[in-house]
Amino acid sequence: MTLELKNIGMIKEANVKIDGLTVIAGKNDTGKSTVGKALFLAYSSFSLDKNIHQNNESHITDNMPRFSLSSEKVKEELFSENSFSKKTIIKVLHEEKVFTYNQDNMYIEDSLDIRDIGIANIAFIETPIVWNLQKLFRSVTDIESHLKLVGESIEIPYPFLMKDLYFKLVTKRDYPDERIKEFRKSIISIIDGEFKKDEDGLFRFYRDRNKFDLIDVATG
């Protein structure tokens, strides 16, 4: 794929071919990080659009039965000269976009079909310092959850990309793919230890039954 960027940050114009493992090299302040962030944003927007579409479909499906009318009411609405429903139906039929409802199929006839890019998740990894902020992110999440429960809202500024990466790292996942399991074992063997949650829910580095705070562990 080719990523086209114009007037974003330090980049005036760029066409970047993304093919497998792609390395972007250059001088400082030339927009190398901007390319990665733009790619992250592009893939994230696909997931966001998909979720919005699914939520809208679900909402419409759940509410369709409320709009069912008796046959007599339909006749009255359709054949009355000043019927609002009649005028609305005529207007809708002249629209370019016609929404078709079916229990098993819902779509807008001229909608754009974005192909399945085959990516289940995407994370932007800019710096391992994200681990030093895990207490901050947990506190922010607790505050936001509490405010939602009491019906209040407040904007708490924080580095979004770091928080996004942190929660992806701490979310427990199953690894059905044997290759991923073997890859994890290889990493543990290479670094002679592993990262695990302690009794407080914070990640630490464990080696030979010893526990180390991440701030005391080499970030590389």
- Give per-residue pLDDT as tens, 171-217: 766 666 777 778 888 988 988 888 887 877 777 888 888 888 776 67
Q: Which residues contact 162 (CB under 8 A, 6 or more apart)?
A: 126, 127, 129, 130, 133, 137
CA distance 172 to 18: 29
Task: Pick the more confident residue, 104 or 180.
Answer: 180
Is 92 found in the same domain as 155?
no
Half-sphere exposure (CA, 13 Å, Cβ side) for 57?
A: 15
Q: What is the mean pLDDT of the chain?
A: 67
Is 9 found in the same domain as 88?
yes
Q: 161: domain range?
A: 127-213
> What mean pLDDT is predicted for residues 134-153?
72
> What mean pLDDT is predicted for residues 32-36?
78
Highest averaged pLDDT of the listed ranges 87-91, 120-124, 159-163: 159-163
Q: Which residues contact 121 (CB under 8 A, 6 or more apart)?
A: 168
CA distance 49 to 55: 10
So what's the pLDDT on residue 123? 62
Is 188 found in the same domain as 154?
yes
Q: What Cα–Cα distance (Å) separates residue 154 from each residue in 118, 143, 144?
A: 36, 9, 8
- On whether residue 220 sits in a domain, the answer given is no
Task: Pick the more confident residue, 75 or 12.
Answer: 12
So what's the pLDDT on residue 107? 44
Q: In total, how many domains does the chain have? A: 2
Burial class (CB in 10 A: 0-12, 13-18, 19+), 166: buried
Is 8 found in the same domain as 80?
yes
